[in-house]
A and B are shown apart, each in its own frame.
Chain A
Amino acid sequence: MGALLGVLPFLAYTTIFLMIPTLIVVVGAFVNGKGRPTLGNLSALAQPQIVSAFMNSLLLSAVTAVLGAVFGALLAYAVSTARQSGPLRRMITSVCGVLAQFGGVTLAFAFGATVGLQGFLTLWLQKVGINLAGSTWLYEPNKGLMLVYTYFQIPLMLIVFLPAVEGLRPQWREAAESLGGSTWDYWRHVGGPILAPSFIGAMLLLFTNAFSAYATAAALISQGSPIIPLQIGDTFSSEVILGQENVGKAMALGMVAIVAVVMTLYVVLERRTSRWLAR
Chain B
Amino acid sequence: MKLRAARRRKQTIFRRVVVGLIGLFFALPLLAMVEFTTRAPGGGRTLQTWTTLFNLAAIDANYPELKTGIQASAGLVLLTVAIMLVMLVPTMTWIRLRVPGMRRLVEFICLLPLTIPAIVLVVGLAPVYAWVAYFLGESSLWLAFAYVVLVLPYAYRALDAGLSAIDVKTLAEAARSLGAGWPTVMWRIILPNMRTAVLSASFLSVALVLGEFTIANLFSRENLQVAINQLGKRDDSLATAAALAALILAFIVLFAMSFVGAARGSHRPEEN
Residues on A close to B: CB < 8 A?
3-4, 6-7, 9-11, 13-14, 16-25, 28, 71, 74-75, 77-79, 81-82, 85, 88, 90-95, 97-99, 101-114, 118-121, 151, 154-155, 174, 177, 183, 208, 211-212, 214-215, 218-219, 229, 232-233, 235-237, 248-249, 252, 255-256, 259-260, 263, 279
Contacts and interface: CB of A to CB of B under 8 A. Distances in A.
Contacts of A102: 207, 210-211, 246-247, 250
B251 A94 contact: yes
Nearest to A25: B124
Interface string B28-68: 11111101110000000000000000000000000000000
Given A105-B213, A113-B37, 7 more contacts: A21-B124, A22-B112, A91-B255, A105-B232, A107-B29, A110-B244, A252-B124
A10 B117 contact: no
Given A177-B3, A256-B115, A114 B213 contact: no
> Main SS of the interface on chain A?
helix
Contact of B32 (A120, A155, A252): A120
B22 interface: yes
A24 B127 contact: yes
Contact of A212 (B112, B119, B208, B265): B119
Contact of A85 (B7, B31, B90, B262): B262
B36 A233 contact: no
A259 B146 CA distance: 20
B73 interface: no
B189 interface: no
Given A25-B120, A110-B243, A17 B99 contact: no
B19 interface: yes
A91 B30 CA distance: 16
Interface centre among A14, A21, A92 (most CB of B within 10 A): A21
Question: 3 smallest A-B Cβ distances: which pairs?
Answer: A21-B124, A212-B117, A113-B36
B243 A109 contact: yes
Given A6-B91, A98-B254, A233 B26 contact: no
A22 B214 contact: no
B251 A75 contact: no
A121 B124 contact: no
A233 B119 contact: yes
B243 A21 contact: no
Interface in B85-124: 87-88, 90-91, 94-95, 98-99, 102, 106, 109, 112-124
B99 A218 contact: no
